[in-house]
Amino acid sequence: MRATSSLLIATHPECGEHRPFPGHPERPERLRAAISGADGLGARGMDVHVEESDVLRAIHSVHGAAFPARLRTACESAPAVFDSDDNPISEGTYRAALAAVAASVAGAQEVSRRGAERVWVPVRPPGHHARRDRAMGFCFFNNAAIAAEELLARGIGPVAIVDFDVHHGNGTQEHFWERNDVFYLSVHRYPSYPGTGAGDEIGAGRGRGFTRNYPLADGADDGTYCGAVASGLEDALAAFAPSAWVVSAGFDAHHEDPLGGMKVTERGYAAIGEMLGHAAGKSPVLAVLEGGYALEALSRSVRTFLACLNGVVPP
C-alpha cells in the first residue's frame, strides 16, 4: 500500500470539557487517545472555530429549536443527568458538544471547498444516538447527521453514512428514515442498546431501501464484522453513487472494549478502513468518532483504520 490521499484532522480542545462522573467510560482521555491514533500518518490539523450562533444553525438542521437551550440551561446546574441516567453532564458539557459539532461541520465545509479526500474528526461527546429532541447513550448532538446535512446543503450529495459502532445509531436512522438523498448503513451488536437496528428496518416512504442494518450476535469476530461491512457497502453502492461518505467510526466492537461484547481486533479495523477507501474511491470520506472506551485499543484501532482508509501501511 502507498499514500493515495491527504488526511486532515478536525477537532477542538473544548471537546475535553465534557466531564462525566469519575469512572464513567466516556471520559476526556478518549479525546487524546483518538487524536493520537493519527500519529505518524502525516495528518494535517485544521483550524476549528466555535462560534455559537453558527454552530446552532447547523444543529437546527437535525435537532429541534429548543433542544440546545435546554442542554445549556441544564449544564448551568451540573453535575446532573440530562434526559436519562446514561447522560451525565458537567458544567462544560454544552461547550464540548458545541465544539464537537463545530469540528464536524468544519470538516464538511473543507470537503465542499477543497474536495478534501479524507478527514478525521476525533471529537466527544459522541452523537449517533442523539434524537431530534432527546439525548441518549452518551450522545447530545448528532455530529454525523449534522455533517451529512452540511454536505447536502453545500451541494455535495447524495451521501452515504456508514456506522460501524457496536451500538446501533438510532438517532441517525430516525433522522434520515424517509430520505433518499442519504443511505444509512449500520453494522452493530443486536439485540443490544438501544434496541433498534433489526434487519427489517429499511426506511419508509421515499426512503424505503435507503436504510440497511446488519445486526450481529454477541462475540462477532473480524471475519463476521468485516463481512457485514463489505455486504453493506455493496448495498450502498447499489443504491446510488455517493458524492461523499460520512462514517460514524465507533471502535467499541474491539475485543478489549468494556462495553462492546465483540471480538474485533485492529486487523478488523484495518480491513474496514481499506474497504471504505476502496468503495469511496476519489469521493471524500469524513470519519467522526463515536464509541471506543478502552484507551490503548482505541488509539491502535484508529491508527490502523485511518492508515488503511488513506492507503498507507499502518506505522
From the list 203, 182, 89, 91, the residue with the least C-alpha distance to 135 is 89
Element at 296 (helix H, strand E): helix 295-309
Q: Using DSSP, state whether 290 is helix, strand or coil.
A: coil
The SS3 call for residue 84 is strand
Rounded to the nearest 5°, which phi and psi values hold at 310?
-90, 0
- Reference 166, options 133, 208, 108, 126; nearest CA is 126
129 in active site: yes
Contact call for residues 182 and 210 (beta carbons, < 8 A): yes
Options 18, 129, 167, 254, the catalytic residue: 129
> How far, in Å, are 51, 95, 144, 148 from residue 67 at the CA level?
18, 14, 17, 20
Instruction: Please state, in angstroms and as integers, the Cα–Cα distance from residue 206 to each residue in 105, 148, 203, 212, following that order.
Output: 26, 18, 8, 14
Beta strands at 118-121 and 7-9: parallel, antiparallel or unpaired: parallel
CA angle, residues 69, 72, 77, in degrees to nearest 5: 130
| Residue 206 CA to its chain's centroid (Å) | 25
**How do beta strands 285-289 and 118-121 pair?**
parallel
> Which stretches within 85-243 are classed as H helix?
93-114, 143-153, 170-175, 222-239
- DSSP string computed for 117-153: SEEEE--SS--TT--SS--BTTBSS-HHHHHHHHHHH
Catalytic residues: 129
